[in-house]
Amino acid sequence: MMAPMPEEQIIRMTIAYDGADYMGWQIQPGRRTIQGEIESALAHIAGRRVVVIGASRTDSGVHARGQIASFRWGIDIHPERLPFAINSRLSPDIRVLDCRVAQPDFDARRSCIGKTYAYTMCLSRIQDPLNRRYTAHVPFQLDLSAMADAAQVLQGEIDLSVFSRAEAIGRLGDRGSIRKITFSKWHFSEHTGIFRISADGFLRHSIRCIVGTMIEIGRGRIQTADMLALIQGGCGRAQLRATTMPACGLCLEKVNYNDAAVLGSRE
């Protein structure tokens, strides 16, 4: 007599990846994506397609240390063993770090209450070629104090549409473009600048444009007051000449959830 199939559960997994060679997170026909690679690995294990939902749809070239994803699972493999089974079918630049059983209504994207990203820049005149996949090269003389002050302006509820491409604004839906930023800070060392920002969500390219705007402040081309006026609707982004920084410097560090959203069990 055949053993009964185990009851289907929601699995929450943590993923790290080097996004340099991928067309972002989301599945795209004929293109190599993070979601596509993970779903392919799970399909080999399960014998059928397993739809994976990611907390953040990272863009082409963007990296992650703490991406969270969820999927329905009814195969008799202990969650602690799943990362090894999945990783054996992935390229070394993607790794599932952890799998655990979540609440039945857990959804990695819809249950998310906040995300933290880091943007890393090389400030040397000549970039270390070993770091070029993970840092943006900014060889200009910068006023680091002015950039640190500018980061402090980015607090509370902000309309991020001013830092996002126009074509993305029409697809925002009911939520609109207002996001609540809870943390925004630069950390500078001798040859490196790292900008960390946390919010309840972001718009496409918004972090990369925020960084570009603060670099313009650091170069003395615009003032923090100009960025504040931009946020408050006093002028257009084009007037500030802010650039969208390269994807290679951006990394998803952490995704936050309410404690009740995850069982915390590995069984």
C-alpha separations of 54 from 13, 25, 137, 172, 184 in Å: 9, 8, 29, 18, 24
- What gap in Å lies between CA 36 and CA 51, rounded to an integer? 9
Question: Nearest CA to 15 among 80, 67, 58?
Answer: 67
- What gap in Å lies between CA 65 and CA 16, rounded to an integer? 4
Question: Nearest CA to 230 among 241, 220, 218?
Answer: 241
- What gap in Å lies between CA 129 and CA 61, rounded to an integer? 17
| Joined tokens for residue 218 | 């650091």
- What gap in Å lies between CA 36 and CA 101, rounded to an integer? 22
- 138-147 core/surface letters (b: 16 or more CB in 10 A; e: else): beeebeeebb
Is 59 part of the annotated catalytic residue set?
yes
DSSP β-ladder status, 136-137 and 112-122: parallel
**Catalytically annotated residue among 59, 93, 107, 159:** 59
- What gap in Å lies between CA 156 and CA 51, rounded to an integer? 35
- What gap in Å lies between CA 257 and CA 106, rounded to an integer? 10
Supply the residues annotated as catalytic: 59
